[in-house]
Amino acid sequence: MVKMLNAAPDHAALVAWVNEWVAICEPDALYWCDGTNTEYYNLCEEMVQSGLATRLNSKLRPDCVLFRSDPSDVARVEARTYIASEKQEDAGPTNNWIDPKQLKAEMLALYKGCMHGRTMYVIPYSMGPVGSNIAKIGVEITDSAYVVINMHVMTRVGNDVLNILGKDGEFVRCIHSVGKPLENGAKDNGVWPCAPMDKKYISQFPETREIWSFGSGYGGNAILGKKCLALRIATVQARDEGWMAEHMLILKLTNPQGKVKYVTGAFPSACGKTNLAMLIPTIPGWKVETIGDDIAWMKFGKDGRLYAINPENGFFGVAPGTSMKSNQNAMLSCRKETIFTNCALRENGDIWWEGIDIPLEEGEKLIDWKGNVWEKGKVDADGKEVKAAHPTARFSARAKNCPAIAPNWEDPAGVPIDAFLFGGRRPSTLPLVYQSLSWEHGVMIGSSVGSEVTAAALDVKAGTVRRDPFAMLPFCGYNMGDYFQHWLDIGKKEGAVLPKIFCVNWFRKTADGRWLWPGFGDNSRVLKWIFERCDGEGEAVETPISYMPTLNAIDRAGIEDEVSEADMKELLAFDKEGWVKEADMIEEHYKKFYRLPKELADQLAALKARLAK
């Protein structure tokens, strides 16, 4: 008999669905989450007492806890992530596909009795401000208190959501289990619960708007409002309903005269996306504020403009490399009320990671992410340096605690978008910034974005570009060729007032490996030109690849010694030979997509024709 810890809501379909999973998973108890601070802190304390969490020094990190996951459960597992559409071709060439009937049969066998000895938590949550017409509601069932507290941080959880849902509202159904039942009174004893890798599944069923996750307790594998709903399911909803769900930051840019523009941006990993969302400008009088650092949902308003919300409530940030120098606002965001995962622990009860730029005391013992005493300079059996924090160590921080958060970041109507940015890590060929010649040309830019990787990194030929279209490769819930078409269709909407599209590249280098652009706060200088171009201003010249800034269009006041005129010439040069090769690489990239829209093939042909002149 399942112990009912509190009352169920008055929503017959929701209660019936939960009861179905109670019968399958066989938990000891059932708890409906209310989203209160009391609930959050009680669960944190329970996990501290059980040994699963460590409470950090309350003076240094008030209300913060640290978790250490199992070494097999430290990141997204793309090989175990599935888009189970009814037809394989609808999943497309970039997704793992399994027949949904087969997949559900496999997973139901795993779910049977999987919550023995555990509490089943039911988490009603809103992606986006509660009640916004752009927001969506999900309900996640889980047996992980770690998931519950992360959902508190990353989404809006609780009774307010149930009130919006009412007695018959629609919701995305999300089921999750760590996949480790506790039999005969057993306990976790402070050991991270999860299943072996071959039993891990992160499955999306687009047609039925369902998410089934099993075996992992980490990050987006388990916190199902994040990538699973916010992108994989939402992209399908957006396609069907005529809006956009994108892997994009949203920032608010204000010039010295008080004029405001809103910019979104999509960047592959390790390209400075969060840094840009929380940027501190170096140009006097300019201001950047954060709306969101990772995901943007956009719908057309009555005026024809695209209005965006940040569907999340927090930041799930990568810790290593984050410091007061690289991202001051991110560091300040996680100073309190934060969940840390797989970071190192200092003797003073604070966290630490590589690149945090905080020196350790002489002789200080550090506890690494596996719970062992860390020795600086120690190498493993393969000769690689043992890291104190895992490379994907994370912090779950509340957006409200970010000093740069915009006052209107939770506006349920969203904010009107003026510009889309795309970018990657490209040491050559791509200029510092350029503007698309048209919407269709901009879609081609987004569809071919990527980062250059080294041979050492991926055992491939140096100079190879790893393409990540729209930074959506792991996150698009349907055929990516159809996704490209959806972008093109957005551009054809009658009465649409479309954002301008730009590509940026902060990562240009000289032949001897010197960075040509300082990046970080000085990226505000590029944003200034983009701001001006949105108003039809800003000096530019048309080239075969785009509209590009003239030599003096980017404000270099104060950094002339760091970025010379010669540097700017190289940063803004049109490299014809490089672009001929780039066009050939894009053509090869497009061969992967068997539903590639004709408009993109035409755009590529037009680029090649311009380059041939």
Which domain range does residue 604 map to?
245-310+409-612
Tell whether 38 is covered by a domain.
no
Same domain for 223 and 121?
A: yes
Tell whether 42 is covered by a domain.
no
**Last residue in a domain, options 362, 377, 404:** 404
Tell whether 233 is covered by a domain.
yes
CB burial class (10 A; 0-12, 13-18, 19+) of residue 544?
A: middle
- Tokens 């990141």 appear where? 75
* Domain tally, the chain: 3
**Mean per-residue pLDDT, 530-539:** 97
Tell whether 46 is covered by a domain.
no
pLDDT tens-digit readout, 363-413: 899 999 999 999 888 888 888 889 999 999 999 999 999 999 999 999 999
Instruction: Compute the mean pLDDT over every residue in the chain, rounded to the nearest whole number.
Output: 96
Tell whether 459 is covered by a domain.
yes
**What local confidence, expressed as pLDDT, does residue 560 receive?**
94
Same domain for 397 and 414?
A: no
**Last residue in a domain, options 241, 269, 288:** 241
How many CA atoms within 13 Å lie on the side-chain side of 65? 22
Same domain for 250 and 128?
A: no
Query: What's the CA gap between 503 and 306, in Å, rounded?
Result: 19
- pLDDT above 70 covers a percentage of the chain that reads 98
User: Does residue 461 have a pLDDT over 90?
Assistant: no
pLDDT tens-digit readout, 174-212: 999 999 999 999 999 999 999 999 999 999 999 999 999
**What local confidence, expressed as pLDDT, does residue 378 receive?**
83
**What local confidence, expressed as pLDDT, does residue 459 receive?**
47
Same domain for 383 and 429?
A: no
Which residues are identified as catalytic? 271
- Confidence class for position 456, pLDDT limits 50, 70, 90: very low
Same domain for 325 and 200?
A: no
Single pTM value for the model = 0.97
pLDDT tens-digit readout, 278-292: 999 999 999 999 999
Same domain for 510 and 417?
A: yes
Same domain for 372 and 516?
A: no
- Confidence class for position 454, pLDDT limits 50, 70, 90: low
Same domain for 560 and 607?
A: yes
Same domain for 289 and 326?
A: no
Encoded amino acid at 290, one letter: T
SS3 of 467-521: ECHHHCCCCCCCCHHHHHHHHHHHCCCCCCECCEEEEECCCCECCCCCECCCCHH
Same domain for 266 and 414?
A: yes
* Residue 137 β-bridge partners: 126
pLDDT tens-digit readout, 322-340: 999 999 999 999 999 999 9
Q: What is the dihedral of CA 63, 397, 331, 75, to 10 degrees?
A: 110
Query: What's the CA gap between 308 and 297, in Å, rounded?
Result: 5
- Confidence class for position 462, pLDDT limits 50, 70, 90: low
pLDDT tens-digit readout, 537-590: 999 999 999 999 999 999 999 999 999 999 999 999 999 999 999 999 999 999
User: Does residue 240 have a pLDDT over 70?
Assistant: yes
User: Does residue 455 have a pLDDT over 80?
Assistant: no
Tell whether 37 is covered by a domain.
no
pLDDT tens-digit readout, 513-527: 999 999 999 999 999
Same domain for 306 and 317?
A: no
User: Does residue 21 have a pLDDT over 50?
Assistant: yes
- Confidence class for position 464, pLDDT limits 50, 70, 90: confident
